[in-house]
Amino acid sequence: MPRAGLSPDAVVDAAVAVVDVGGPGALTLAAVAGRVGVATPSLYKHVRNLAELRHLVTSRVLEELAERLGEAALGRSRDDAVRALMRAYRDYVAEHPGRYGAMEQEAAPEDDAAAERLLGILYGALRGYELEGPDLVHAARCLRSAVHGFAVLEAAGGFGLPADLEASYELLITMVLGGLSGRRPVA
Amino acid sequence: MPRAGLSPDAVVDAAVAVVDVGGPGALTLAAVAGRVGVATPSLYKHVRNLAELRHLVTSRVLEELAERLGEAALGRSRDDAVRALMRAYRDYVAEHPGRYGAMEQEAAPEDDAAAERLLGILYGALRGYELEGPDLVHAARCLRSAVHGFAVLEAAGGFGLPADLEASYELLITMVLGGLSGRRPVA
DNA sequence: ACACTGTCACTAACAGCATTAGCCTTCTGG
DNA sequence: CCAGAAGGCTAATGCTGTTAGTGACAGTGT
Helical H segments across B23-155, by residue range = 29-36, 50-73, 78-95, 97-101, 113-125, 133-155
Instruction: Give the per-residue pLDDT at A1.
Output: 59
Instruction: Give the per-residue pLDDT at A109.
Output: 61
Instruction: Give the per-residue pLDDT at B48.
Output: 97
User: A162: pLDDT confidence band, cut at 50, 70 and 90?
Assistant: confident
| Residue A184 pLDDT greater than 60, yes or no | no
**Contacts B139 to A, Cβ<8 Å:** 171
pTM (two decimals): 0.91
| Residue A58 pLDDT greater than 70, yes or no | yes
Instruction: Give the per-residue pLDDT at B110.
Output: 59
Cβ–Cβ pairs < 8 A, chains A and B:
140
Q: Show the low-confidence residues of chain B (pLDDT under 50).
A: 184-187
d(CA B27, CA B29): 7
- The minimum CA-CA distance between A33 and chain B, rounded to whole Å, is 23
Residue whose Cα is closest to the C1' of C16? B30
d(CA B103, CA B100): 6
Q: What does the pLDDT look like over A102-123, one tens digit per residue?
A: 998 776 665 688 999 999 999 9
Identify residues of A whose CB sits under 8 angstroms from chain B CBs: 23, 101, 105-110, 134, 137-139, 141-142, 144-150, 152-153, 156-160, 164-165, 167-168, 170-172, 174-179, 183-185
Q: What does the pLDDT look like over A118-156, one tens digit per residue?
A: 999 999 999 999 888 899 999 999 999 999 999 999 988
User: A160: pLDDT confidence band, cut at 50, 70 and 90?
Assistant: confident
The residue type found at B80 is D
CA of A13 to C1' of D11 (A): 42
State whether B167 and A134 contact (CB < 8 Å). yes
User: A186: pLDDT confidence band, cut at 50, 70 and 90?
Assistant: very low
User: A66: pLDDT confidence band, cut at 50, 70 and 90?
Assistant: very high
On whether the CB atoms of residues A175 and B142 are closer than 8 A, the answer is yes
| Mean of pLDDT over chain A | 91
Say what the alpha-carbon torsion angle A40, A44, A49, A54 is, to the nearest 10 degrees. Answer: -80
Q: What does the pLDDT look like over B82-131, one tens digit per residue?
A: 999 999 999 999 999 999 999 987 766 656 889 999 999 999 999 999 89
| Residue A11 pLDDT greater than 70, yes or no | yes
d(CA B1, CA A44): 45
Residue whose Cα is closest to the C1' of D15? A30
| Residue A185 pLDDT greater than 50, yes or no | no
Instruction: Give the per-residue pLDDT at A103.
Output: 92
State whether B147 and A152 contact (CB < 8 Å). no
Helical H segments across chain A, by residue range = 8-22, 29-36, 50-73, 78-95, 97-101, 113-125, 133-155, 165-180
State whether B172 and A146 contact (CB < 8 Å). yes
The residue type found at B150 is F
State whether B141 and A174 contact (CB < 8 Å). no
Instruction: Give the per-residue pLDDT at A107.
Output: 64
Burial (0-12, 13-18, 19+ Cβ within 10 Å), A162: exposed
State whether A158 and B105 contact (CB < 8 Å). yes
